[in-house]
Amino acid sequence: MAGCCAVLGSFLFEYDTPRIVLIRSRKVGLMNRTVQLLILAYVIGWVFVWEKGYQETDSVVSSVTAKVKGVTTTNTSKLGFRIWDVADYVIPAQEENSVFIMTNMIITMNQTQGLCPEIPDKTTVCETNANCTAGSAGTHSSGVATGRCVSFNGTLKTCEVAAWCPVEDDTEVPNPAFLKAAENFTLLVKNNIWYPKFNFSKRNILPNITSAYLKTCIYDAKTDPFCPIFRLGKIVESAGHSFQDIAVEGGIMGIQIKWDCNLDRAASLCLPRYSFRRLDTRDVDHNVSPGYNFRFAKYYSDPNGTEHRTLIKAYGIRFDIIVFGKAGKFDIIPTMINIGSGLAILGVATVLCDVIVLYCMKKRYYYREKKYKYVEDYEQGLGNEMDQ
């Protein structure tokens, strides 16, 4: 109890104040200046020069539109000779910050609702009706099972389903891709940006770009780095992939537009930087469900009023346009905050040197005597002398 009271008394009735002690030591002095120089280099070099700590910053607000151009032809036994333009292979016509281009497909024509055999696999092959469960509809089924085992071809039987018939057979994906010529299609990207804090706006079609130039230019990182028209094959190749490989099973590509603007300089120096990468990069050792695909159908009726549809399983490349960046401009408030922080960090040099001098050096006890001085209360001492 007495110990606790002594500690409490020391806490309440003692006061400490810094004492300046000049230590003439080359080792300590050199260490102190070295730490101070490192701190100054960090504050000036990193905080102010590299990170521009004297600037107020703002994040970009962006809008994007994209337009695809290109025409190709195909000639197959199912479809015959056919011309494909933008309305055929861009699905849907407009998306937010992205565009999907169909490069491959599995087409099932003239489907009607009725009864037909399932595509053979380990769950649908049967020998008798006992092998088929009426009313079942699995997640991978083409329809609802009737419970009958029917002939699929001359040698094989499968369970019958009520479905859109004939059912789709997607066991083999066309290779090479159906629309392999899509690598020569072009994509025009229009990007408008705004920094609300500075009321600064710009777009990626720069003021010096003319209509004549826009009709002929194709983006190239070296020769035309600010052309907003991209060849699809070049986008994929720039990301380190083969267009024909991705076109078969589909994939997702990212078009990255980076806007880093120093608004203390001329506005003309605020320029977009383009880069490309595959967003659905496949793991070679784990190649389950690769690519990108979905289904859609086109419906029509024959003269008798019977509803038909053409089912398309579309494989293709979705181009996601990702815009990011920040702008900075001089402001006195972050400047003063960073200067104050730098001055405060300089105190680290003193603390570090104190620790070494008082706890690590051979003469630490001598330096402690010089560093700390204990003084009794003057009034209390004077009262004791008068009592005597």
Binding residues: 67-69, 186, 293-295, 313
Separation between Cα atoms, residue 325 and residue 273, nearest integer Å: 10
Known binding-site residues for ATP equal 67-69, 186, 293-295, 313
CB atoms within 10 A of CB 5: 9
Dihedral pair phi/psi, residue 238, rounded to 5°? -65, -25
CB 317 within 8 A of CB 251: yes
Sign of the alpha-carbon torsion through 41, 44, 50, 51: positive
Q: What is the dihedral of CA 114, 119, 121, 122, to 10 degrees?
A: 20
What HEC string does 39-55 produce?
HHHHHHHHHHHHCCCCE
CB 164 within 8 A of CB 157: no
> Which residue in 102, 148, 111 sits closest to 126, CA to CA?
148
DSSP for 100-129 reads: EEEEEEEEEEEEEEEEEEPPPSTTTB-SSG
Dihedral pair phi/psi, residue 128, rounded to 5°? -135, 170
- Per the structure block, which two tokens stand in for 347? 């105190």
Dihedral pair phi/psi, residue 24, rounded to 5°? -90, 90
Dihedral pair phi/psi, residue 318, rounded to 5°? -100, 125
Q: Which residues contact 226 (CB under 8 A, 6 or more apart)?
A: 204, 206, 209, 271, 272
Buried b or exposed e, range 35-69, using 16+ CB within 10 angstroms: bbeebeeebeeebbeeebbbbbbbebebebebebe
Separation between Cα atoms, residue 109 and residue 83, nearest integer Å: 18
Half-sphere exposure of 225 (CA within 13 A, CB side): 9
